[in-house]
């Protein structure tokens, strides 16, 4: 079950998002989605992730709550003096106890994206309050679909990949990877960050990393990633849309990047995805 949490200082916004999700559950047949909490209080959200135990001597102990599959819609900027925590601080606290829940940040301007990136609190997406009701509905359904897809890939959600970057290493949840690519070609619509020649690029929810090993190594070690042309390994879990345009094929990823390749490479990618589905890998 995908448990949805909505937290915004505007009661009407909370009610509106809640109604749109309830409608999506009914009309889009999302029986695996349920609203766990809709509130204007960040503290009510935190209770779902941790429990504070107070002792007679005045000390406290914080214990984590059992983890669930979750999608959170969190307002970033709560009104002045409205709450003890703003949305960024709330997300930071949540990430102490749950690194895998999907978070959609509700924002008036969108200027806070740098803060989200710097704080390492990974966004599934952003929801601008200035959108029309119809646009909001489309965006919310899109976020629900992506979160449900991530949830359904339970084996991928549990798999951690060891990544070597220079002299250090880290572990990345496979579900958080968008793609791995060799950086010896020009991007078409992918990240604009200047590449470091000779290093493989990892793009995941927390940003860009430069890997020590070559693309071929990850092609052999991570069968869940699908080859796209000569230079990309794509995580199909995070592909929102696959379409063709003239002689090229285009993949739109969950982070809104679009990758364009020749039609032959695109067709081969789709063929590989179909084979993986038959084998139960997707």
For residues 21 and 111, state if they share a domain.
yes
Considering 84, 117, 152, which residue would you say is the last residue of a domain?
A: 152
- Residue 61's CATH number: 3.40.50.2300
For residues 143 and 179, state if they share a domain.
no
> Taking Cα atoms as reference points, which of 46, 45, 25, 26 lies closest to residue 37?
45
Range of the domain at 104: 2-152
> Taking Cα atoms as reference points, which of 183, 180, 186 lies closest to residue 199?
183
For residues 126 and 183, state if they share a domain.
no
Q: How far apart are the first and last CA of the chain?
A: 19
Query: Along the 282 residues of the chain, how does pLDDT read in single tens digits?
Result: 889 999 998 999 999 999 999 999 999 989 889 999 999 999 999 999 988 787 788 888 888 887 788 999 999 887 655 556 778 889 888 988 887 889 999 988 766 665 676 666 778 888 998 899 999 999 999 999 999 888 776 545 556 777 777 667 777 878 889 999 987 544 444 444 444 555 789 998 878 888 888 898 889 888 889 999 889 999 988 888 889 988 999 999 988 899 999 999 999 999 988 887 776 666
For residues 113 and 181, state if they share a domain.
no
For residues 233 and 112, state if they share a domain.
no
Count of domains forming the chain: 2
């Amino acid at each position: 079950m995908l448990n949805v949490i909505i937290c915004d200082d505007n009661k009407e916004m909370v009610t509106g998002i809640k109604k749109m999700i309830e409608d999506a559950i009914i009309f889009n047949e999302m029986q695996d989605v349920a609203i766990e909490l809709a509130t204007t209080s960040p503290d009510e959200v935190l209770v779902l992730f941790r429990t504070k135990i107070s002792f007679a001597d005045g000390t406290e102990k914080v214990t984590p709550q059992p983890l669930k599959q979750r999608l959170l819609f969190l307002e970033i900027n709560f009104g002045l003096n409205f709450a003890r925590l703003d949305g960024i601080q709330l997300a930071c606290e949540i990430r102490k106890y749950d690194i895998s829940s999907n978070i959609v940040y509700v924002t008036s301007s969108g200027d806070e994206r740098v803060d989200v990136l710097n704080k390492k609190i990974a966004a599934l997406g952003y929801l601008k309050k200035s959108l029309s009701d119809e646009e909001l509905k489309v965006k919310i359904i899109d976020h629900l679909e992506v979160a449900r897809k991530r949830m359904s890939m339970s084996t991928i959600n549990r798999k951690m990949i060891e990544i070597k970057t220079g002299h250090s290493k880290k572990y990345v949840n496979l579900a958080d990877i968008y793609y791995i690519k060799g950086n010896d070609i020009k991007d078409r619509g992918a990240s604009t960050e200047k590449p470091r020649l000779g290093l493989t690029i990892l793009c995941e929810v927390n940003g860009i990393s430069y890997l020590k090993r070559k693309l071929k190594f990850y092609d052999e070690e991570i069968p869940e990633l699908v080859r796209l042309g000569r230079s990309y390994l794509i995580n199909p879990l995070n592909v929102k849309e696959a379409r063709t345009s003239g002689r090229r094929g285009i993949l739109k990823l969950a982070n809104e990047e679009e990758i364009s390749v020749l039609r032959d490479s695109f067709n081969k990618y789709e063929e590989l995805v179909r084979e993986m589905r038959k084998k139960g890998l997707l």
